């Protein structure tokens, strides 16, 4: 994630913010509310969010103004290939929002703390892009991990409900798992020697013997 958002010390295109329960990616100049990604972001989800936000920034500031591409982008991340700017973002909401049920963080616009977009707009004879400062959040950008007492974002009622359901499902699964997979065989519970299970197949009453005899007949 760091190598993609910060291509070099002089070329950074966005930041990441670690919250207590999720991660938020913010690409400079993006005019969309970002998704709350899982705390430990799978690369596939990062790639989708990266392409959607990057595309929003480019369309809003340069492509829509008929300016040549000003932003360097990785044309392939994981299984995704970015080749159509106008259509690249359309399936992201379907995957992240509708299928995975991820919620949005708040819209932070204009977001350009390093004046990355503003500099390129002025260079192309467009108006500047003045960053909206939120110092109490910005100071925690690009940390290596979440630190207690830093970034918190209240969960919505829907998120609280979903979290409670997941906890309940896990507890039910664990109970079922213990009942099904950890229940001891009856002979072991009564202390019967395991040697009893190795009796001669001709012994009467053994279910395996009956089955084997049936097959032989």
pLDDT in tens, 95-106: 898 899 899 999
Q: What is the dihedral of CA 176, 180, 183, 184, to 10 degrees?
A: -170
Q: What percent of the chain has pLDDT over 90?
A: 31
Pair 71, 52 in one domain: yes
| Domains identified in the chain, total number | 2
127 domain residue, yes or no? yes
201 domain residue, yes or no? no
Pair 23, 125 in one domain: yes
Q: Are 51 and 88 in contact (CB under 8 A)?
A: yes
C-beta atoms surrounding 109 within 10 Å: 16
Low-confidence winner among 40-54, 104-118, 175-189 (lowest mean pLDDT): 175-189
Q: How confident is the model at residue 108 (pLDDT cuts 50, 70, 90)?
A: very high
Residue 68 reports pLDDT greater than 50: yes
Closest C-alpha to 29, from 7, 12, 44, 46: 12
Half-sphere exposure of 181 (CA within 13 A, CB side): 6
100, 127, 154: which is the final residue of a domain?
154
Dist CA 61 CA 119 (whole Å): 11
197 domain residue, yes or no? no
Pair 143, 167 in one domain: no
Pair 65, 101 in one domain: yes
176: containing domain: 155-191
49 domain residue, yes or no? yes
Q: Are 82 and 75 in contact (CB under 8 A)?
A: yes
130 domain residue, yes or no? yes
Pair 165, 94 in one domain: no
Pair 89, 187 in one domain: no
Question: What is the reported pTM?
Answer: 0.68
Q: 211 versus 66: which is more confidently predicted?
A: 66
Dist CA 84 CA 11 (whole Å): 23
Pair 129, 186 in one domain: no
Pair 134, 164 in one domain: no
What DSSP character marks residue 7? E
Dist CA 6 CA 33 (whole Å): 21
State the DSSP string of 160-194: HHHHHHHHHHHHHHHHHHHHHHSPPPHHHHTT--G
23 domain residue, yes or no? yes
Pair 42, 107 in one domain: yes
205 domain residue, yes or no? no
Dist CA 83 CA 73 (whole Å): 11
26 domain residue, yes or no? yes
**Cα angle for residues 108, 98, 112 (degrees, 5° grid):** 15
Pair 123, 183 in one domain: no
Pair 109, 45 in one domain: yes
């Amino acid at each position: 994630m760091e190598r993609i958002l910060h291509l070099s010390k002089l070329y950074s295109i966005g930041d990441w913010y670690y919250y207590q329960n999720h991660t938020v990616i913010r690409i400079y100049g993006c005019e969309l509310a970002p998704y709350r990604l899982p705390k430990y972001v799978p690369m596939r989800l990062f790639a989708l969010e990266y392409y959607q936000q990057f595309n929003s920034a480019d369309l809003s500031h340069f492509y829509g103004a008929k300016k040549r591409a000003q932003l360097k982008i990785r044309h392939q991340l994981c299984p995704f290939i970015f080749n159509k700017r106008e259509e690249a973002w359309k399936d992201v909401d379907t995957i992240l929002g509708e299928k995975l049920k991820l919620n949005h963080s708040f819209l932070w616009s204009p977001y350009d703390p390093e004046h990355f977009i503003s500099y390129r707009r002025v260079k192309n004879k467009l108006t500047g892009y003045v960053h909206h400062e939120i110092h109490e959040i910005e100071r925690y950008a690009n940390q290596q991990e979440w630190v207690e007492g830093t970034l918190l974002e209240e969960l919505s009622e829907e998120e609280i409900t979903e979290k409670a359901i997941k906890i309940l499902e896990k507890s039910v699964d664990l109970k079922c798992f213990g009942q099904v997979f950890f229940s001891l065989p009856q002979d072991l519970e009564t202390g019967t020697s395991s040697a009893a299970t190795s009796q001669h197949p001709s012994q009467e009453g053994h279910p395996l013997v009956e089955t084997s005899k049936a097959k032989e007949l």
